[in-house]
């Protein structure tokens, strides 16, 4: 079976598991995806798809509204384990590579502040002491 068709089948299967689709919808989606995947893969050599090397200063990567991945240069609100795994790194390895402290959150400053405020508002430490009594 054609590799492009296999990739399209996986996408259609995932879509069909989320919503009800008619046979015509499944067929047309499969044909369109197979054609599109084939045209994309034929147009781009593998070398161009790889991420370019970036020289990002790790100390400046964590900003107010974004955190920039030092590996690929993309900006996020938070760096997930899944994204770091695409670079073959765990969050701990990423922190060590960038020179961050072990407990440094891999989120932008605004989101970190928002989470901290939400936790203070929840006052979970009071609930634990009253529940234990």
82 located within any domain? yes
68 and 43 fall within a common domain: no
Q: What pLDDT does residue 51 have?
A: 45
User: Under a CB-based contact definition with an 8 Å cutoff, are residues 35 and 43 in contact?
Assistant: no
How many whole angstroms separate alpha carbon 93 and alpha carbon 59? 16
36 and 85 fall within a common domain: no
131 located within any domain? no
- Beta bridge partners, 67, equal 62, 76
The 10s digit of each residue's pLDDT in 25-79 is 888 888 888 888 888 877 655 444 444 455 788 889 999 999 999 998 899 999 9
Other residues' Cβ atoms within 10 Å of the Cβ of residue 1 = 6
Print the domain residue range for 35: 3-49
How many contiguous H segments (helices) and E segments (strands) does the chain have?
A: 7, 2
Q: How many domains does the chain have?
A: 2
129 located within any domain? no
Beta strands in 37-129 (DSSP E): 67-68, 75-76
Q: Considering the entire predicted model, what is its pTM? A: 0.53
pLDDT band at 89 (very low <50, low <70, confident <90, very high): very high
26 and 82 fall within a common domain: no
């Amino acid at each position: 079976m054609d590799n492009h068709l296999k990739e399209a089948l996986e996408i259609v299967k995932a879509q069909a598991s989320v919503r009800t689709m008619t046979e015509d919808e499944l067929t047309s989606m499969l044909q369109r995806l197979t054609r599109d995947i084939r045209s994309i893969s034929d147009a781009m050599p593998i070398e161009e798809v790889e991420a370019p090397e970036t020289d990002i200063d790790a100390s400046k990567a964590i900003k107010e509204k974004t955190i920039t991945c030092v590996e690929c240069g993309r900006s996020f609100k938070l760096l997930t384990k899944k994204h770091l795994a695409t670079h073959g790194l765990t969050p701990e390895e990423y922190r060590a590579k960038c020179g961050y402290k072990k407990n440094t959150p891999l989120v932008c400053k605004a989101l970190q502040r928002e989470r901290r405020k939400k936790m203070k508002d929840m006052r979970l430490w009071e609930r634990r002491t009253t529940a234990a009594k």
